[in-house]
Amino acid sequence: METIQQYFVQFFGTQWGSMLFSLTTNIVFILAIAVPLLLGVAYLTFAERKIIAYMQIRVGPNRVTFFGIPWLRGWGQPIADAVKAIMKEIIIPTGANKFLFILAPVLTIMPALAAWAVIPFSPELVLADINAGLLYILAMTSMGIYGIIIAGWASNSKYAFLGAMRSAAQVVSYELAMGFALVCVLMMSQSLNIGDIVSGQQGSSFLNWYLIPLFPMFLVYLISGVAETNRAPFDVAEGESEIVAGFHVDYSGMAFTVFFLAEYANMILVAALTSIMFLGGWLPPIDIMPFTLIPGFVWLLLKIAFILFFFLWFRATFPRYRYDQIMRLGWKVFIPITLIWIVVLGLIMQLPESVRSVFPLNIWF
């Protein structure tokens, strides 16, 4: 690292050399996050089809081989899908606002990727260790709504417009429940820095994870995450039988695929956040010898995969909610529950340390 920096300095001069060096290293780190993420998104679609298939007692995609390797049957499917998608015509409907129509998918995927800048994969492995990490994540997830609204409006199609309104209203409603659940996490961790939130859950075993004292908030967060990403059973916005495909009904080819990528990237992001806030991030479940040898990011990835499996499982299990039921769940169930939980948690924190330590709700404070 040092020698490369010196080489840069020698080549470009002192001022430009160090600047270009930090630029290059940053870009390399960002690509090291973004490229595996996009591959993960591609293979999440494959995993979804496979897992749901096995849940429905069939095999799922198993024809497209991966470079002809026979025991990887089906693993070429995401690549084949990507090639197919990029070869398809992008239709821009008459009456659409061309600029916004093209911009909307880009606006959706940009925050979905950029939110990963602050996700810590292990104590040192974080691109941007900022103190306002959680606020940044909330800001990025809110940015995605612009893509939805702009896409629905710019298509100049009734279904797209109604789908966009529905999607946006649903996403903002569940963002409130998510935000309140995160306030509870903050009360426990006393820090907005995501690394500190994970470190706050450090202890001898998984009993220290915020999952245990904040279990209702974990459920609220997980379900809100499903609703926020417009996944089944909360996918009325794209209910095929009701309003065709929601805000992206007029998108085709690569423009549609970018929305699709963004949706799955958001899914992985929500799973990562759930793992970080409630499941101890990079921490092993029990802090003893064989588990501590495994590097932190492996634990984080395992937890993300676990939560993602839940997402797919929900989709295979539950029938779709009606829109009014979704809004009722968000506003009349989750927001009151989280508000009450904030008050209860605040009250517990007012108790003196000696009383707190025997209080059944949080013996681990």
Partner 1 sequence: MLDNYFSILLFLIIGFIVGAGCMIGGWLLAPNHPDSEKLSPYECGFEAFEDARMKFDVRYYLIAILFILFDLEIAFLFPWAVVLDEIGLFGFLAMMVFLGILVVGFIYEWKKGALEWD
Least spacing, CB of residue 284 vs partner 1, in Å? 27
Q: Give the Cα separation of 227 and 239 in Å (integer).
A: 13
What would the DSSP string read from start to end of 258-318? HHHHHHHHHHHHHHHHHHHHHS-TT--SB-SHHHHHS-HHHHHHHHHHHHHHHHHHHHHHP
Kindly give the interhelix angle for 77-86 and 253-278, rounded to the nearest 10 degrees. Answer: 140
Least spacing, CB of residue 247 vs partner 1, in Å? 12
Least spacing, CB of residue 281 vs partner 1, in Å? 18
Q: Which is nearer to partner 1, 181 or 279 (CB)?
A: 181
Least spacing, CB of residue 224 vs partner 1, in Å? 13
Among 36, 250, 237, 42, smallest CA distance to 145 is for 237
Q: Which is nearer to partner 1, 69 or 106 (CB)?
A: 106
Contacts of 288 (CB under 8 A, 6+ apart): none
Among 210, 199, 32, smallest CA distance to 117 is for 32
Q: Which is nearer to partner 1, 9 or 30 (CB)?
A: 30
Least spacing, CB of residue 293 vs partner 1, in Å? 30
Q: Which is nearer to partner 1, 52 or 143 (CB)?
A: 143
Q: Which is nearer to partner 1, 209 or 334 (CB)?
A: 334
For the chain, the residue count is 365
Q: Which is nearer to partner 1, 160 or 211 (CB)?
A: 160
Q: Is the peptide bond before 360 cis (omega within 30 degrees of 0)?
A: no
Q: Are 46 and 62 in contact (CB under 8 A)?
A: no
Least spacing, CB of residue 271 vs partner 1, in Å? 19
Q: Are 193 and 129 in contact (CB under 8 A)?
A: yes
Least spacing, CB of residue 257 vs partner 1, in Å? 7
Q: Which is nearer to partner 1, 167 or 274 (CB)?
A: 167
Long-range contacts of 130-133 (CB under 8 A, 24+ apart): 130/193, 131/191, 131/192, 131/193, 132/192, 132/193, 133/192, 133/193, 133/194, 133/195
Q: Give the Cα separation of 15 and 6 in Å (integer).
A: 12
Q: Residue written as tokens 């499982």? A: 313
Q: Which is nearer to partner 1, 68 or 352 (CB)?
A: 352
Least spacing, CB of residue 359 vs partner 1, in Å? 16
Q: Which is nearer to partner 1, 128 or 316 (CB)?
A: 128
Least spacing, CB of residue 86 vs partner 1, in Å? 5
Burial state string for 327-362 with b = 16 or more CB within 10 A and e = fewer than 16:
bebbeeebbebbeebbeebeebeeeeeeebeeeeeb
